[in-house]
Amino acid sequence: MPRDKGLPPGSLVLLILQVLSNGPLHGYAIAQRIAARSNDELSVEEGSLYPALQKLLLKGWVKASPAVSQTGRQVREYRLLPAGRRQLDAERVEYRRVSRAIAAILESV
């Protein structure tokens, strides 16, 4: 069972979509970008990353195309599709709603 450090359950798809919203990235770069943007607070295990990417492909939210990494290796770059962007917006709204609700509960106590 992969254990993603500090990652709230169900948030991986949102994070991947978010980092892809700035431009196409390959798998390793996605993991790196999430770690970097969270100041190494969050890290994505490979065992979670690749099934999640396959799910995004299956849902038609991203598209994969062959590319070459900065180190010259053959990789696949994932590009956000319009459906993926819509999904990102929806997940953002949902995440904010849930986190506001959780915050409200925490503050009330």
- Residues forming the site for other proteins (CB under 8 A): 26-28, 31, 46-47, 50-51, 53-55, 57-60, 64, 66, 69, 71, 73-76
Between 73 and 96, CB nearer to other proteins: 73
Please list, residue by residue across 54-81, b when 16 or more beta carbons sit within 10 angstroms of its beta carbon and e when fewer do. Answer: eebeeeebbebeeeeeeeeeebebbebb
Between 70 and 108, CB nearer to other proteins: 70
Between 46 and 100, CB nearer to other proteins: 46
The distance of closest approach from Cβ of residue 87 to other proteins in the complex, given in angstroms and rounded to an integer, is 11
- The phi and psi torsions of 50 (rounded to 5 degrees) equal -70, -40
Between 73 and 100, CB nearer to other proteins: 73
The distance of closest approach from Cβ of residue 90 to other proteins in the complex, given in angstroms and rounded to an integer, is 13
Say if CB 27 and CB 62 are below 8 A apart.
Answer: no
**Residue 14 CB-density burial (10 A; 0-12 exposed, 13-18 middle, 19+ buried):** middle
In sequence order, what are the residues at sequence separation of 6 or more whose Cβ sits closer than 8 angstroms to the Cβ of residue 99?
A: none
The distance of closest approach from Cβ of residue 17 to other proteins in the complex, given in angstroms and rounded to an integer, is 16
